[in-house]
Structure 1
Amino acid sequence: METKIISIVGEKGGIGKTTLNLILASNLHYAKGKKVVLLDGDNPQYSIYKKRQRELSFLDASEIKELEPYTIERVTVGSIQDTIMKYYSLIDYIILDLPGSLNVEMVKGLLYVEHIFIPFSHDELEIDSTSNFYFTLKNNFLDNNERVLKSVNLFFNKFKLVRKNKFSLLRQQFEKAGIPIMQSVVKDRTIYKEQYRNTLYPIPENKEEGDMDIKKFFEEVEQLSNL
């Protein structure tokens, strides 16, 4: 089995990467039937791992068995390679949730990621830092003859329709600079954190089905990860 190692990453906290990694893992597994392992490398918070433990505490053994939840493991700089090799070629996706800063844990984790997805919003300072982050990854990981990394793609996060002209202009600027931008977006919706951020269930079938809803983003992540 060909395993893809992917991650939604950012160079700072508060951009929603952990929420998106979690929802992505749940929907690939429960809705798409993919074999998924989510590695929580955001030490020492380990917020995804702790959330899974809380959610499991409300269920009995028979309910857990029926759900067949995907595996979530904590990893450190010292354990990440062995943990990846334990699952590699046995599952469809390994999703890494890394710290929101360019520290040792993040750099070590990035050495194993094949496809990176970077969220950003319309904030001017965030746009500049995201551009710099992209070129840092490109120069140090993507343009390396011994690289594992195959692609880096940016996407609009916290997208607002009222600012669609601003986002359209930003898209043109990034494309002109040679920075790959995904076609799909992630809208600014509190429901992602309040209802859909769950390690045991996917987004309901009849929700998020529109052309600009989050399921389209997940579909594009799948497509780009299989190129």
Structure 2
Amino acid sequence: MKKEPLFVALSNQKGGVGKSTLTVLLASYFHYCIGKNVLVVDCDYPQHSIRIMREWDVKNVEKNARLQGLLVEQFGDTGRKAYNILSSTPQQAKKAAYDFIDRSDIGYDMVLVDLPGTVNTTGVFQSIINMDYVFTPVTQERMVMQSSMTFVLAIREYLNCHKEVPLQGIYMFWNKMDKRVSKELYNAYMTILRSLNLPVLDTTLPRAERYNKDAGQNGQIFRSTLFSPSAALLKGSNLDLLAGEIEKITGL
């Protein structure tokens, strides 16, 4: 009997906070670096940006001998094939994942779900409460914070009234942290979040150019569905720290 995979979603009702990018980075880190069996379900209709990123990655490898060599080397070192990416609507996310897993010989550790940037999209709310855990990236922009707090508070209120749903917790974490932004602003937001008893991860992710380094560029690779984040760029990115916190919280 196959083990039950952990369902984790990155979700926020505000767009532009980095959900899809972080879904790819975490999937690649857990799958290629840590050796977890990861399945990704791309529910970000209609763009399905992660599926498109995979198609773009494959095309780049096909026409680039250097990338082909890197892919062969990675497989030789890890024995890890590329993780699968499914396209789905939000309401069908778990069904699509289970249908795929039931046909697979692999026992999956984690299913990462990328949801649309608005909770009003059909099926998003239902999909959220049927995850095991939800992680919500936030930035220091005022509109993002207001929207994010409203979103997390609404989910928490629902959980308090519906103990039977699968969702065990929703956690916020800081993304795209700009060192030029006042530390006082960050401290003020943290004071508000603590007063509302909203859980926030210790890890903060910096705003950095490395998050845009993909397989189409020369040099080191950070964001890719086919490659692990390079060790040089992983250092100081805090991605490994974020993954470690997620592992600890979820018991992955």
The TM-score normalised by the length of structure 2 is 0.81
Q: How many Å apart are 1:78 and its aligned residue?
A: 5.8
Question: 2:243 is matched by which residue type in structure 1?
Answer: F
1:1-227 mapped onto 2 (5 Å cutoff): 1-59=3-61, 66=75, 68-77=81-90, 79-86=92-99, 87=101, 90-102=107-119, 103-141=121-159, 143-162=161-180, 163-195=182-214, 196-210=222-236, 213-226=238-251
Q: How many Å apart are 1:2 and its aligned residue?
A: 4.0
Q: Is the 8 A contact 2:5 2:111 kept in 1?
A: yes
Question: 1:220 is matched by which residue type in structure 2?
Answer: E
Q: How many Å apart are 1:143 and its aligned residue?
A: 4.2
Equivalent-residue separation in structure 2 for 1:223 and 1:6 (angstroms): 13
Equivalent-residue separation in structure 2 for 1:213 and 1:30 (angstroms): 17
Provide closer, same or farther for how the CA distance between residues 77 and 126 of structure 1 changes in structure 2, counting only shifts above 3 A. Answer: closer
Equivalent-residue separation in structure 1 for 2:46 and 2:27 (angstroms): 21
Consecutive unaligned residues of structure 2, counting only runs of 5 or more, are: 63-67, 215-221
Q: Is the 8 A contact 1:99 1:105 kept in 2?
A: no
Provide closer, same or farther for how the CA distance between residues 78 and 2 of structure 1 changes in structure 2, counting only shifts above 3 A. Answer: closer
Equivalent-residue separation in structure 1 for 2:56 and 2:142 (angstroms): 37
Q: Is the 8 A contact 2:138 2:173 kept in 1?
A: yes
Q: Is the 8 A contact 1:142 1:149 kept in 2?
A: no
Counting matched residue pairs gives 226
Q: Is the 8 A contact 2:139 2:177 kept in 1?
A: yes
Whose Rg is larger?
Answer: 2
Question: 1:214 is matched by which residue type in structure 2?
Answer: L
The TM-score normalised by the length of structure 1 is 0.89
Identical-residue share of aligned pairs (%): 22
Provide closer, same or farther for how the CA distance between residues 156 and 203 of structure 1 changes in structure 2, counting only shifts above 3 A. Answer: same
CA root-mean-square deviation: 2.5
Q: Is the 8 A contact 1:7 1:115 kept in 2?
A: yes
Provide closer, same or farther for how the CA distance between residues 192 and 142 of structure 1 changes in structure 2, counting only shifts above 3 A. Answer: farther
Q: How many Å apart are 1:100 and its aligned residue?
A: 0.3
Q: How many Å apart are 1:111 and its aligned residue?
A: 3.4
Q: Is the 8 A contact 1:208 1:215 kept in 2?
A: yes
Q: How many Å apart are 1:161 and its aligned residue?
A: 2.8
SS at 2:51's partner residue?
helix
SS at 1:183's partner residue?
strand
Higher mean Cα deviation, 78-87 or 23-32? 78-87
Consecutive unaligned residues of structure 1, counting only runs of 5 or more, are: none
Higher mean Cα deviation, 142-151 or 159-168? 159-168
Equivalent-residue separation in structure 2 for 1:154 and 1:6 (angstroms): 13
Q: Is the 8 A contact 2:8 2:134 kept in 1?
A: yes
Equivalent-residue separation in structure 1 for 2:8 and 2:122 (angstroms): 18
